[in-house]
Structure 1
């Protein structure tokens, strides 16, 4: 159970009690009483007393039970030593006049009370990792130069602006819950005339232009941290901030160089042309280790089914994306996958029916949207190379067979849209060269998405094709016009055929809805993009889905096809040894996700004019 919050004064008193400044070996007692008695002649210490150096050793030795814990501040060590050397000085009045720095970290502080005003020389106040939601600035000592409130629950800086410390030089309010464009109103020189360093990292600030306009009034500002805010995801963030705040020396822990100032010169004057939007480029290159499922399929019969396999990679991206025209999507090797909604799945399945959606990479379970489709698919697989005549007796059966077999893991999660590469047939190495640039205006939702990450899924698409079979001709067919009958009679006489009562097989093929199967999936953490990294690049290893037997069959079929094409290549083909030491290649895919940042004012303005 979480301990209820306390005031700063209570936290200070509790901290002093933990130092045990009035107990052995500190303070006064039988261990040092003779040192503080009036000197009359030469008084020898009693047998129970300890010499001063021994008491100091007991307080400082790391093996001593009276030693301070590791990581104790220098002020705590000084107080401990002072309580041994001069214990009579340890009084409340001494504390209030002694402390220039007060560090209360993770002490469950929820209220800054007026007891702080008793610290007459306090210059540094660190209240990080507490539970402060609101703060009365009238309770802050006017002598403060450093105020740190990291990791609290502040929603606005307005509470600090009623009576801000006039000499404050550093304000640290990172890792809070600051949000809204109005926050820039509380960051002007009217409230912080002496501010040199400002840390607002990892909040929810979104308006870059309003923020820089307010910070421009802080003439003394030299160090600024805005990393981790949604506004830092904007493509022109660093360049625009550097050009807007000319005196700035350090931005997000990186020194602002003279070269950067030159490259982004004049960018802040074009604020009206620059949009607050982020640009993220997703690149998917090679896919390896795919299992060629066609090796297990029987040879098709005269009427089918003819089975084709395609493979593609999907990833989910934030749904709150800038609207794009359809032509823009057609210009890249990508398409949005929009599988049936989850509501439709719930309508199809009964309450007692369970849907298998395990995470095993060798999971062969299929999730169907209709029982009729499952039964028809089972009958096709068992028929082998036999001829199959497909008939549809009712509209209900027709619609059921048009529904795809879908693995639920292909369905995008809530708040995201599923994107995919182009579909490609099997190859030992499938090269996609996929690249998609996402332009996102919803910066807050984008930050939430990046913190949660994306899921990469490898999908196998199975398509069954069938010859179209026309019904047999019947003497009871509809009457035709006389002209049509004469034309048909002439054709029949010329060919010397009688009217056939057999079924005519068309050269056209009918394709069933695709059957989707997940071969592997993995989660990618995109938090580094929020923390300042420009790129997340990796080769995802999704495990081994191929076997020794499947690789042997695939290799033999490829070798057979190659020998048919060219006899001259005989002897040149490499022979793979499929022995006990053979290890199939794992399923891997190359993925790169990049947060785009303009490198110059010219690049930023060129992008704007080209839109």
Structure 2
């Protein structure tokens, strides 16, 4: 791959100024005292208009340097001054953005008066400091390919006041060692945003030696996800005026006073709370149940919301055993609900897993098991609005992994669980008997005996009460209803909470069975009308109002072709992902001291 030198790009930009061509520089187009009469010449004002007129073809883009426009005017007014050294020394600001520059060569030293150099969005992987002019005050290297600061901290420009290194692959301990007052004695503003710095204490210890530092930008780094940020930064750097583009108030500084002195409280860990609230828009599952279906199996429907999160977190101790077991095994599938007997058998194993969870989550081992696993809410039966009231807090020590996870976001899914229950095989289950009255044995054909009828009914009720079958559940059948991606990048760039009403779209249930039922109802209705015409029922007798209305509504809502679908509202789920932060030094004491004592 060929390198693109900075000097080549700068020479190209200077040539485009056309300092020696029309309408600049010397030429027959300039009107002078010695110009012959009748020659096609222009006076100085007309030539300047050609440089500045918005529609002039000689107007050029001069955003790469504010001195470019002034230099072209000099080329019109006093072209005799424009020798090579004058041109190089005239530039004090150079902005070369997105020009694929990969090498900063020593030709940059020709610009001996250069004070501001902006090289954003290029392909620079190394910056030899000896090739930077000593007059430099502002150096911006955002969005390049820097992976180390070793070459940048040798022979530094002594007057440098502003340094931007954001959006580079920086963050090692070696990089931190090069961000001290010994290397940058005059540095006033430092931008390290969107890098990979994780060790908050080490970084703050280094930048605290910068004697003139007043502005610091750290947003987008993993360390900003920690509970102790920004409180620790504010208290460690008392000379700081602005942090992450926000002014530090007197009240904020007072609230975190003393936090930096309590080293036992400083922990580079992030605490994230995920809350799942109400869910609505799920169609009634009984719409798919045939009214003429037999009594067994008994069908129950339940609904669960699942989401992804890091598997190496320390979850709340108040979680149920099922959720803890799921986190420990790092499963990719939701746990199945076990029956009561299996829960009893697994109770001892679950308690062992809980203990292992607490032992595994140490700072050394967390980095080795950074995987994403699925977590589930409790299962709820169907209703028009189901409130899960699910809240879990995850404490993560691998801040770099957490940043990558937030940048990717996670998927939230809705699952339906169908459970079939059957009578136990050992039970003597009575068959459901008809509720028709028992006929008399002698005489009175077709007439029912009221006494025997009542007695039979009572016996039937007593028998049903006496012989209630014990139900045995089949393995649950799970079905994914819908899934939606939840973006969480804002938590990396400074937001404290993502509060969203997730729209998972409309669930178009397969309503072929429902269409068949309507067709059958219509068929039965026609048959009953035909029978009514030949029997005792009058032909013109109107159908019951309620029944006719129900049939009409069903016909309006459901089309009778094979591809029909029921019109339903969108499925929505309330979701909140909050990044917890210490609001004061006293809050840090209250939250951490009980944990450390335990």
TM range (shorter): 0.7 to 0.9
Provide Cα deviations, 1:436-477, integer angstroms capped at 9, x if missing partner.
1111111111111111111111111111222221499xxxxx
Asked whether the 8 Å contact 2:226–2:581 carries over to 1, the reply is yes
Asked whether the 8 Å contact 2:62–2:68 carries over to 1, the reply is no
Distance 2:157 2:479 in 1: 63
SS in 2 for 1:53: helix
Describe the shift of the 1:340–1:324 C-alpha distance in structure 2 as closer, same or farther (beyond 3 A): closer
Distance 2:574 2:280 in 1: 9
Structure showing greater relative contact order (alpha-carbon pairs closer than 8 Å, 6 or more residues apart): 1
- What is the Cα deviation at residue 44 of structure 1? 5.1
Asked whether the 8 Å contact 1:145–1:168 carries over to 2, the reply is yes
Describe the shift of the 1:66–1:518 C-alpha distance in structure 2 as closer, same or farther (beyond 3 A): same
Partner of 1:273: 265
Distance 1:239 1:185 in 2: 23
Q: Please state if 1:544 is matched with 2:528.
A: no
Distance 1:45 1:594 in 2: 80
Asked whether the 8 Å contact 2:314–2:394 carries over to 1, the reply is no
Distance 1:114 1:70 in 2: 24
SS in 1 for 2:386: strand
Partner of 2:425: 469
Partner of 2:544: none
Distance 2:183 2:198 in 1: 21
Distance 2:587 2:329 in 1: 38
Asked whether the 8 Å contact 2:331–2:374 carries over to 1, the reply is no
- What is the Cα deviation at residue 183 of structure 1? 2.0
Describe the shift of the 1:545–1:169 C-alpha distance in structure 2 as closer, same or farther (beyond 3 A): same
Partner of 2:3: 5
Q: Please state if 1:118 is matched with 2:110.
A: yes
SS in 1 for 2:86: helix
Q: 1:423 aligns with which of 373, 379, 390?
A: 379
Asked whether the 8 Å contact 2:278–2:389 carries over to 1, the reply is yes
- What is the Cα deviation at residue 577 of structure 1? 8.2
Provide Cα deviations, 1:345-403, integer angstroms capped at 9, x if missing partner.
xxxxxxxxxxxxxxxxxxxxxxxxxxxxxxxxxxxxxxxxxxxxxxxxxxxxxxxxxxx
Q: Across the two proteins, how many residue pairs are aligned to each other?
A: 478
Describe the shift of the 1:78–1:438 C-alpha distance in structure 2 as closer, same or farther (beyond 3 A): same
- What is the Cα deviation at residue 323 of structure 1? 4.2
Map residues 72-91 of structure 1 onto 2, 5 A cutoff. Answer: 73-91=65-83
Map residues 442-591 of structure 1 onto 2, 5 A cutoff. Answer: 442-470=398-426, 507-545=469-507, 584-591=568-575
SS in 1 for 2:232: helix
Provide Cα deviations, 1:124-177, integer angstroms capped at 9, x if missing partner.
111111111111111111111111101101112222112111111111000111
Gaps of 5+ in 2: 334-369, 429-466, 516-549, 559-565
SS in 2 for 1:291: coil
- What is the Cα deviation at residue 424 of structure 1? 0.2
Describe the shift of the 1:78–1:577 C-alpha distance in structure 2 as closer, same or farther (beyond 3 A): farther
Distance 1:601 1:577 in 2: 63
Describe the shift of the 1:46–1:607 C-alpha distance in structure 2 as closer, same or farther (beyond 3 A): farther
SS in 1 for 2:470: strand
Provide Cα deviations, 1:500-552, integer angstroms capped at 9, x if missing partner.
xxxxx9933322222111211111111111111111111111222267989x9
Q: Please state if 1:287 is matched with 2:279.
A: yes
Asked whether the 8 Å contact 1:274–1:608 carries over to 2, the reply is no
* TM, length-normalised to structure 1: 0.72
Distance 1:440 1:207 in 2: 14
Asked whether the 8 Å contact 1:544–1:587 carries over to 2, the reply is yes
Partner of 1:605: 589
Partner of 1:197: 189
Describe the shift of the 1:341–1:210 C-alpha distance in structure 2 as closer, same or farther (beyond 3 A): closer
Map residues 101-112 of structure 1 onto 2, 5 A cutoff. Answer: 101-112=93-104
Q: Please state if 1:594 is matched with 2:584.
A: no
Describe the shift of the 1:454–1:448 C-alpha distance in structure 2 as closer, same or farther (beyond 3 A): same
SS in 2 for 1:469: coil
Partner of 1:311: 303
Describe the shift of the 1:28–1:311 C-alpha distance in structure 2 as closer, same or farther (beyond 3 A): same
Partner of 1:27: 25
* TM, length-normalised to structure 2: 0.74
Partner of 1:241: 233
Distance 1:239 1:323 in 2: 23
Map residues 169-208 of structure 1 onto 2, 5 A cutoff. Answer: 169-208=161-200
Asked whether the 8 Å contact 2:64–2:95 carries over to 1, the reply is no
